[in-house]
């Protein structure tokens, strides 16, 4: 079975590739992936992957890759994922998320109309939810409050439209927050863990910069999330839509406390206005019941374990790079 993972060197793409290679060895998967720039996260797996380097915003290139690969399963993970930065560069977020998926679906319609395609949206599509809608199920109204959220609504509805118009087997997931080793420091767990690791190595004064600590989010480990993506394509019918998250949430300060308790350093916490956002949903909780019923999925890795692994990841990276005399580069 030929699998195509777009954005295979991204945080989620690399975790999915690793899941296929380690957990699904018996499935005889031929794994193809598109990469745009960095391939650090997949370097150790390179020999087992077939990589296609190029830009998904280029329709001719996407057409060539899909014609060559003719995948049976497609995980479309290449995307703009940074909510905060989408306010600074709204058009870049729209362009990337809409054009990459459009080019992919057009190419699939021409060359692999039977492929099963996973389209990944986000809990950000629900935006300013009414507290009475918590926990959020698939029927909750869409009220996105960021350019990122709008771009994800477009991706989500576009995937549905290709099912309506052309019968493509698209399955949509709206993923809630995911964390884990390898994530960039643009996201909260890595933002805090990296600073703690740098403080422990004496590379930063013992002041940890934070944004809004009150927001409540529903966190799932990325390794559980990629297992959910696999199950979504195994069990999903064309046009299906699933919310994927743990079903519980906690405030950012709780996540921070777990990380601080994992460190022996004395650390002062300071709010950095640069890390605050123009608009923030106060509380997000997923209702994953539909997905659980259809696939049997439930998260296996606790937030504490996940955060321990994130901190370990940044400790390793910081120590290697401080030995080399360079500051830890973003993954
Ligand atoms: N990034 C970041 N950095 N967030 C911080 C910080 C900080 O220093 N301090 C507090 N926060 C708060 C944010 O304000 C937000 O309420 C929460 O931590 C989570 O922020 P992120 O980790 O940046 O994630 P996100 O919720 O904006 O978006 C993530 O989850 C979405 C699904 O819900 C991303 O992974 C999106 O791509 C994804 O769709």
Instruction: Say if residues 233 and 269 touch (Cβ distance below 8 Å).
Output: no
Residues 225 and 279 in one domain: no
Domain-embedded: residue 149: yes
CA 120 to chain centre: 8
Instruction: Work out the pLDDT band at 326, boundaries 50, 70, 90.
Output: low
Ligand 1 atom with least separation from CA of 83: 27
Residue nearest to atom 12 of ligand 1 (CA): 212
User: Sign of dihedral through CA atoms 245, 248, 250, 255?
Assistant: negative
Q: Report the alpha-carbon distance of residue 128 to residue 142 in Å, rounded.
A: 8
DSSP bridge partners of 178: 220
Q: Is the CB of 81 under 6 A from ligand 1?
A: yes
Instruction: Examine the pLDDT at 100 and tell me if it is beyond 60.
Output: yes
Domain-embedded: residue 27: yes
Residue nearest to atom 30 of ligand 1 (CA): 177
Residues 76 and 224 in one domain: yes
Task: Give the alpha-carbon dihedral of 159, 71, 96, 129, to 10 degrees.
Answer: 40
**Exposure pattern of 8-44 as b/e (b: 16+ CB <10 Å)?**
bbbbbbbbbbbbbeeeeeeeebebbbbbbeebebbee
Total domains, the chain = 2
CATH number of the domain at 147, please: 3.40.50.720
164-182 pLDDT, tens per residue?
A: 999 999 999 999 999 999 9
Measured in Å, residue 61 CA sits from the centre of ligand 1 at 32
Q: Report the alpha-carbon distance of residue 241 to residue 220 in Å, rounded.
A: 18
198-217 pLDDT, tens per residue?
A: 999 999 999 999 999 999 99
Q: Is the CB of 156 under 6 A from ligand 1?
A: no
Which pLDDT score is estimated for 329?
A: 57
**Exposure pattern of 95-122 as b/e (b: 16+ CB <10 Å)?**
ebbbbbbbbbbbbbbebbeebbbbbbbb
Instruction: Work out the pLDDT band at 138, boundaries 50, 70, 90.
Output: very high
Q: What is the mean pLDDT of the chain?
A: 95
Which pLDDT score is estimated for 320?
A: 81
Instruction: Examine the pLDDT at 246 and tell me if it is beyond 90.
Output: yes
Which pLDDT score is estimated for 330?
A: 55
Domain-embedded: residue 292: no
Backbone angles phi, psi at 93, to 5 degrees: -65, -45
The token duo for 151 is 């771009």
23-48 pLDDT, tens per residue?
A: 888 778 999 999 998 888 999 999 99
Measured in Å, residue 186 CA sits from the centre of ligand 1 at 8
Which pLDDT score is estimated for 38?
A: 80
Residue among 177, 226, 278 whose CB has most ligand 1 atoms within 8 A, to mutate? 177
Domain-embedded: residue 225: yes
SS3 content of the chain, % helix, strand, coil (to 5): 45, 15, 35
Residues 17 and 113 in one domain: yes
Residue 98's domain comprises 2-178+220-244
> Taking the model in full, what pTM does it have?
0.96
Q: Per-residue pLDDT averaged across 79-103, rounded?
A: 97
Please give the sequence-ordered ranges of beta strands (E in DSSP) within the chain, or none if there are none. Answer: 2-6, 30-35, 50-53, 73-76, 116-122, 169-175, 178-179, 207-210, 216-217, 220-221, 241-244, 250-251, 268-271
Q: Is the CB of 216 under 6 A from ligand 1?
A: no
Residues 109 and 232 in one domain: yes
Closest by CA position to 190, among listed 95, 302, 279, 310: 310
Q: Report the alpha-carbon distance of residue 97 to residue 84 in Å, rounded.
A: 15
Domain-embedded: residue 152: yes
Instruction: Examine the pLDDT at 277 and tell me if it is beyond 60.
Output: yes
CATH number of the domain at 264, please: 3.90.25.10
In Å, what is the CA distance from 4 to each residue of 35, 205, 242, 277?
11, 44, 21, 35
Which residue reads 């799932």 in tokens? 220
Residues 48 and 192 in one domain: no
The SS3 of residue 160 is: helix
CA 241 to chain centre: 17
Q: Is the CB of 162 under 6 A from ligand 1?
A: no
Residues 252 and 127 in one domain: no
139-159 pLDDT, tens per residue?
A: 999 999 999 999 999 999 999
Measured in Å, residue 219 CA sits from the centre of ligand 1 at 10
Task: Give the alpha-carbon dihedral of 213, 144, 297, 160, to 10 degrees.
Answer: -160
């Amino acid at each position: 079975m030929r699998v195509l993972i777009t954005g295979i060197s991204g945080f989620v793409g690399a975790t999915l590739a690793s899941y296929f290679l380690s957990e699904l060895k018996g499935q005889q998967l031929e794994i193809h992936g598109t990469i745009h720039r960095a391939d650090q996260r997949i370097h150790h797996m390179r020999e087992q992957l077939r990589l296609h380097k190029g830009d998904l915003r280029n329709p001719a290139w996407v057409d060539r890759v899909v014609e060559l690969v003719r995948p049976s399963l497609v995980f479309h993970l290449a995307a703009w994922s940074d909510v905060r930065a989408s306010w600074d560069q709204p058009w870049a977020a729209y362009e990337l998320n809409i054009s990459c998926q459009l080019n992919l679906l057009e190419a699939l319609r021409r060359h692999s109309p039977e492929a099963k395609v996973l389209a990944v949206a986000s809990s950000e599509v629900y935006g300013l939810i009414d507290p009475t809608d918590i926990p959020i199920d698939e029927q909750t109204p869409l009220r996105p409050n960021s350019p990122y959220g709008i771009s994800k609504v477009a991706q989500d509805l576009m995937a549905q439209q290709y099912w309506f118009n052309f019968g493509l087997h698209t399955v949509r997931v709206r993923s809630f927050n995911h964390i884990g080793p390898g994530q960039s420091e643009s996201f909260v767990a890595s933002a805090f863990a990296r600073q703690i690791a740098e403080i422990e190595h004496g590379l930063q004064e013992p002041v940890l910069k934070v944004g809004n600590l009150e927001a409540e989010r529903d966190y799932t480990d990325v390794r559980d999330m990629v297992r959910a993506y696999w199950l979504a394509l195994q069990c999903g019918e064309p046009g299906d839509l699933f919310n994927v998250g743990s079903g519980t949430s906690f405030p950012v300060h709780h996540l921070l406390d777990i990380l601080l308790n994992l460190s022996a350093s004395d650390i002062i916490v300071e709010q950095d206005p640069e890390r605050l956002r123009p608009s923030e949903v106060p509380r997000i909780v997923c209702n994953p019941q539909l997905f659980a019923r259809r696939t049997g999925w439930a998260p296996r890795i606790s937030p504490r374990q996940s955060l321990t692994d994130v901190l370990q990841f940044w400790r390793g990276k910081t120590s290697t790079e401080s030995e080399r005399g360079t500051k830890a580069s973003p993954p």
